[in-house]
Amino acid sequence: MEPGTARIAVDLLGGDDAPAVVVDGALRAMRADPDLHLLLVGPAEVADELIAALDPAQRARITVRPVRVAVGMADHPMAARAQSTVRAAVTAVHDGTADALVSAGATGATVTAAVLGLGRWPEIRQPALVATLPAVAGPVVLLDVGGSLEPRPATLARHAVLGAAYAAVAHSIAAPRVGLLSVGTEAGKGDRVRRATDPLLAVEPLPGGARYVGLVEGYDVTLGARVDVVVTDGFTGNVLLKAIEGAYAMAGGPPAEGGAPRAAALLGVAGTVVVCHGSARADDVASGIALAAHLWRRRAIDLVSALLDAATNRTDRSTDTEVRTS
């Protein structure tokens, strides 16, 4: 674990089994990371329950941003109430009260709240959700896993830049190999979007010393031997990730080296945002909080943004990785 305080806003009402699994996950994260501070965003009584389970020293690392359930909202579904908590968590990141936020609420609502509250990077039309699979040969970065369901080829090419930068910054992968997911590896394999994107990627300047290796297949997402970054549309990435998760559940749990990711990072907005999926368990929420802290400590989002600027301006600024004030 990198040193340094990380202040993470946690959406207490996000997720199918919120608030119970979120409280449990937050407790695990607090115990695992002595430099972690949490900003609990949600009903005061839920925050109080979590605080009651901590010792006094740990309590000093907790802040609460109460979100009152509006009159008449108490009967609304959890999902509707959670939208106000995720918005409040975004505000906390925007106003600097928190360094990053984690939500297991509806991904679409979180992405929308983040875009509206934090702003998109100027080069980004559609932010991408990026997940990392721990394959035997090393981490495999997969994007998009849900943000852009029907990206244009230019968006996929932009996501390749984001993925390469993320692999270099978040996972310290030197000279990442970037592939475009398709139904075969020979040039020309795939649907129209893939056939149009492949030649774009062949000439796209990629940051971090990354290089485009061409089309890759489903195997490469799970085995990771051929590629470090796999680019796909959010529809395919989302169903792929859930099918892999199901396969590991079928196989009696993920292998010692490997498995399915438990959280995804949002790339393309000016702030550190991590989403867990709706059916997240406490361990998943704890992993999401740990990922948010890791990304913040590395200033990963700002560095990815700087690498993207350098790549899209096509100037040689690849060593200019100072923090962007966005």
Which parts of this chain interact with its own copies (CB under 8 A)? 135-136, 146, 149-150, 181-183, 190-192, 194, 217-223, 232, 234-236, 238-252, 254-255, 258
Asked if residue 147 lies in contact with residue 111, where contact means CB atoms within 8 angstroms, the answer is: yes
Closer Cβ to its own copies, 127 or 207, answer by number: 127
Asked if residue 113 lies in contact with residue 86, where contact means CB atoms within 8 angstroms, the answer is: yes
Q: How near is the Cβ of 118 to its own copies at its closest, in Å?
A: 23
Closer Cβ to its own copies, 190 or 268, answer by number: 190
Asked if residue 12 lies in contact with residue 71, where contact means CB atoms within 8 angstroms, the answer is: no
Q: How near is the Cβ of 45 to its own copies at its closest, in Å?
A: 29
Q: How near is the Cβ of 257 to its own copies at its closest, in Å?
A: 8
By CB neighbour count within 10 A (0-12 exposed, 13-18 middle, 19+ buried), where does 325 fall? exposed
Closer Cβ to its own copies, 65 or 277, answer by number: 277
Q: How near is the Cβ of 131 to its own copies at its closest, in Å?
A: 13
Q: How near is the Cβ of 274 to its own copies at its closest, in Å?
A: 18
Amino acid at 203: V
- H/E stretch holding 62 reads strand 62-66
Q: What are the backbone angles phi and psi of residue 15, rounded to the nearest 5°? A: 120, 150
Closer Cβ to its own copies, 139 or 146, answer by number: 146
- The DSSP secondary-structure symbol of 117 reads H
| Rounded Cα gap, residues 246 and 44, in angstroms | 36
Distance of CA 290 to the CA centre of its chain: 12
Q: 324 is written with which tokens?
A: 């962007």
Residue 50: other Cβ atoms inside 10 A: 23
- Enumerate the H helices of the chain as residue ranges: 20-32, 44-52, 56-59, 78-94, 107-118, 153-171, 192-203, 218-223, 234-250, 282-297, 300-313
| Rounded Cα gap, residues 148 and 95, in angstroms | 27
Q: How near is the Cβ of 136 to its own copies at its closest, in Å?
A: 7
| Rounded Cα gap, residues 5 and 258, in angstroms | 29
Closer Cβ to its own copies, 1 or 136, answer by number: 136
Asked if residue 56 lies in contact with residue 63, where contact means CB atoms within 8 angstroms, the answer is: no
Closer Cβ to its own copies, 66 or 254, answer by number: 254
Amino acid at 20: A
Closer Cβ to its own copies, 110 or 321, answer by number: 110
Q: How near is the Cβ of 63 to its own copies at its closest, in Å?
A: 33
Closer Cβ to its own copies, 60 or 136, answer by number: 136
Q: How near is the Cβ of 191 to its own copies at its closest, in Å?
A: 4
